[in-house]
């Protein structure tokens, strides 16, 4: 095994780009690991944890490259992949490439722009976003790990200037047909979405697409916008904007479980708008996203499908004694699955628990039923989101499939722009390797027939490993529960 460490001073790329570059380099033949990131304090700590010596004088405006490979030839190939991936990422943007000296401010990077998409490490978001607002730009903050106090200040400043902040942790938006962050390819239509949830909005858009409807805009507001602290600051703005949009005939507000008081505030505001508003707010006793999609189709006069698409193998794996184990990339999809499962199975332990007493231990392991959100802030600090790099989840999948205490496994696969180009392949490989006696696997496949990964092709890959696949996350969750509810955990 050989390794290389390089510091590229004054060379800047955003975190999403570097996540994708790290994945491309790490996939090269003979490469054991690749870490390409800006030299922030957090990333330098991760570098040291990998056994590399931290370069002297490294700072957040510098790019650090650390690669381990089988031999010198593999290391050379990895360097070639790195240069090609960086060049490809920079090609569409006139301002891309190496930045001699200080990194340019977001607001100066593209004269004439009206929206700034910010994807830098959480501690650096505030300065970039505030600079963009002062320059008169609306802001989408893809980054997570941003302090709540910063979020509130940014949203208040935006409102004062007649602007809007989408985020932080705004993973998905569709503005005038253009997908931002993680976004599926969906037809244009009459539904406007206000999304305090990334994968929740993706699930809703994909179900509407399957039902023949389309989307005018999906305005992401960040996963904390409906919390008590943030108080729906961006949600109320987005409702106002969509109410004024002549192309929007129905507005749907989708969120992971919100603060009850804030949810009531949103409902009261929505009741005063001229455009009908459907609230798809997850929680115990509330509609799931599939039922909300059906209600939206009915409100538009569209017929909902008799059955939502599913792909079932000829010989599904049999249920066995054990606990339900959910391994999710999407936090809202995980929330929805836990709400459904808890109604039948009782408490579901999680790193994003529905109830305070349902928390998983620090090692994210438990004897009974549990579900993990691998996209939670605590698991993405300094590493790619699992929709980009599925490595951490694949490791846990192999573990739970080999665990005799596992009764059934529930997964999500999210397609679309920004996501892994072939997420089903790695999952299918791990499922096959577990052998014919492994527990059943049920997959929620969030995508459309227009996504580049190919909805049907991804489903068939999973079915070839004897996984059951459902377009509806709620249907997948209920099927997984049915495989375990009569089995003692």
pLDDT of residue 164: 97
Q: Is residue 144 helix, strand or coil?
A: coil
pLDDT of residue 94: 37
Q: Does residue 101 form part of some domain? A: no
The fraction of the chain above a pLDDT of 70, given in percent, is 94
Both 125 and 255 in one domain: the answer is yes
Both 125 and 262 in one domain: the answer is yes
Could you report the per-residue pLDDT of 257-284, keeping only the tens digit for each?
Answer: 999 999 999 999 999 999 999 999 999 9
CA distance 300 to 293: 11
For the cut 90, the answer to whether the pLDDT of residue 477 exceeds it is: yes
pLDDT of residue 255: 96
The mean per-residue pLDDT over the stretch 2-23 comes to: 84
Q: Is 228 exposed, middle or buried (0-12, 13-18, 19+ CB in 10 A)?
A: exposed
Both 163 and 278 in one domain: the answer is yes
CA distance 201 to 92: 27
The candidate with the shortest Cα–Cα distance to 181, out of 155, 193, 194, 199, is 199
pLDDT of residue 96: 35
Q: Binning pLDDT at 50, 70 and 90, where does residue 388 land?
A: confident
**Residues comprising the chain, all counted:** 489
pLDDT of residue 10: 84
- Report the CATH number that the domain containing residue 33 is assigned in CATH: 3.30.1360
Which tokens sit at 16? 């999403």
pLDDT of residue 20: 79
Q: How many domains, the chain? A: 3
For the cut 70, the answer to whether the pLDDT of residue 297 exceeds it is: yes
Query: How much is the mean pLDDT over the chain?
Result: 91
Q: Does residue 122 form part of some domain? A: yes
The mean per-residue pLDDT over the stretch 362-370 comes to: 95
Q: Does residue 98 form part of some domain? A: no
CA distance 194 to 263: 13
pLDDT of residue 50: 82
Both 319 and 454 in one domain: the answer is yes
Both 355 and 450 in one domain: the answer is yes
Of 40-44, 119-123, 197-201, 387-391, give the lowest mean pLDDT range. 40-44
Which tokens sit at 430? 């791990």
Q: Does residue 305 form part of some domain? A: no
Both 274 and 366 in one domain: the answer is no
Both 324 and 216 in one domain: the answer is no
Instruction: Select from 90, 120, 148 the last residue of a domain.
Output: 90
Q: Binning pLDDT at 50, 70 and 90, where does residue 221 land?
A: very high
Count CB-CB contacts under 10 A for residue 226. 27
Q: Does residue 60 form part of some domain? A: yes
Which tokens sit at 252? 């749907």
Phi, psi of 172 (to 5 degrees): -145, 135
For the cut 70, the answer to whether the pLDDT of residue 430 exceeds it is: yes
Instruction: Select from 275, 299, 323 the last residue of a domain.
Output: 299
β-strand pairing of 138-141 with 165-166? parallel
Instruction: Select from 299, 318, 342 the last residue of a domain.
Output: 299
Both 480 and 343 in one domain: the answer is yes
Both 271 and 145 in one domain: the answer is yes
Q: Binning pLDDT at 50, 70 and 90, where does residue 306 land?
A: confident
pLDDT of residue 108: 54
Could you report the per-residue pLDDT of 60-116, keeping only the tens digit for each?
Answer: 788 999 999 999 899 999 999 899 888 887 664 333 333 333 444 445 555 677 999
Domain that holds residue 170: 107-299
Of 113-117, 192-196, 226-230, 306-310, give the lowest mean pLDDT range. 113-117
Both 351 and 473 in one domain: the answer is yes
Q: What is the pTM of this model?
A: 0.83
Q: Does residue 61 form part of some domain? A: yes
- Report the CATH number that the domain containing residue 246 is assigned in CATH: 3.40.50.261
Both 286 and 161 in one domain: the answer is yes
Both 121 and 261 in one domain: the answer is yes
CA distance 445 to 439: 19
pLDDT of residue 103: 40
| H helix and E strand count, the chain | 15, 19
For the chain, how big is the Rg over CA atoms in Å?
22
């Amino acid at each position: 095994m050989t390794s290389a460490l390089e510091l590229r001073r004054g060379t800047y790329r955003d975190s999403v780009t570097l996540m994708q570059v790290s994945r491309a380099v790490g996939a090269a033949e003979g490469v054991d690991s690749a870490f390409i990131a800006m030299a922030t304090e957090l990333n330098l700590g991760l570098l040291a944890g990998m056994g590399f010596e931290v370069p002297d004088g490294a700072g957040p405006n510098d790019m650090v490259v650390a690669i381990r490979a089988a031999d010198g030839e593999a290391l050379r190939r990895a360097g070639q992949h790195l240069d090609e991936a960086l060049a490809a990422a920079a090609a569409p943007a006139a301002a891309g490439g190496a930045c001699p000296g200080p990194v340019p401010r977001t607001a100066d990077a593209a004269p004439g722009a009206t929206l700034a998409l910010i994807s830098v490490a959480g501690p650096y978001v505030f300065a970039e976003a505030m600079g963009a607002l002062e320059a008169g730009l609306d802001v989408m903050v893809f980054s997570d790990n941003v302090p709540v106090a910063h979020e509130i200040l940014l949203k208040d400043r935006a409102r004062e200037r007649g602007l809007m902040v989408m985020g932080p942790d705004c993973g998905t938006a569709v503005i005038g047909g253009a997908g931002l962050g993680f976004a599926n390819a969906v037809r244009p239509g009459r539904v406007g979405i206000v999304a305090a949830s990334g994968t929740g909005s993706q699930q809703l858009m994909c179900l509407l697409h399957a039902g023949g409807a389309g989307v005018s805009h999906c305005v992401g507001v960040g996963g904390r916008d409906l919390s008590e602290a943030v108080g729906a600051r961006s949600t109320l703005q987005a409702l106002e904007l969509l109410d004024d949009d002549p192309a929007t005939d129905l507005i749907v507000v989708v969120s992971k479980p919100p603060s009850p008081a804030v949810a009531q505030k949103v409902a009261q505001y929505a009741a005063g708008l001229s455009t009908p508003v459907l609230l798809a707010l997850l929680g115990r006793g509330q509609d799931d996203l599939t039922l909300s999609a059906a209600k939206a189709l009915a409100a538009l006069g569209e017929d909902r499908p008799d059955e939502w698409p599913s792909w079932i193998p000829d010989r599904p794996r049999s249920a066995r004694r054990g606990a339900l184990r959910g391994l999710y990339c999407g936090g809202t999809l995980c929330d929805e699955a836990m709400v459904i499962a808890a109604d039948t199975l009782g408490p579901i332990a999680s790193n994003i628990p529905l109830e305070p007493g349902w928390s998983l231990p620090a090692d994210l392991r438990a004897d009974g039923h549990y579900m993990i959100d691998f996209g939670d802030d605590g698991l993405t600090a300094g590493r790619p989101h699992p929709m980009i790099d599925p490595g951490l989840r694949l490791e846990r999948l192999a573990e739970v499939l080999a665990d005799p205490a596992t009764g059934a496994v529930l997964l999500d696969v999210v397609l679309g722009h920004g996501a892994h180009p072939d997420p089903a392949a790695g999952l299918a490989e791990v499922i096959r390797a577990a052998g014919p006696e492994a527990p059943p696997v049920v997959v929620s496949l969030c995508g459309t027939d227009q996504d580049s990964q190919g909805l049907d092709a991804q489903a068939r890959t999973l079915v070839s490993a004897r996984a059951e696949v459902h377009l509806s996350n709620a249907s997948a969750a209920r099927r997984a529960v049915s495989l375990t509810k009569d089995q003692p955990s």
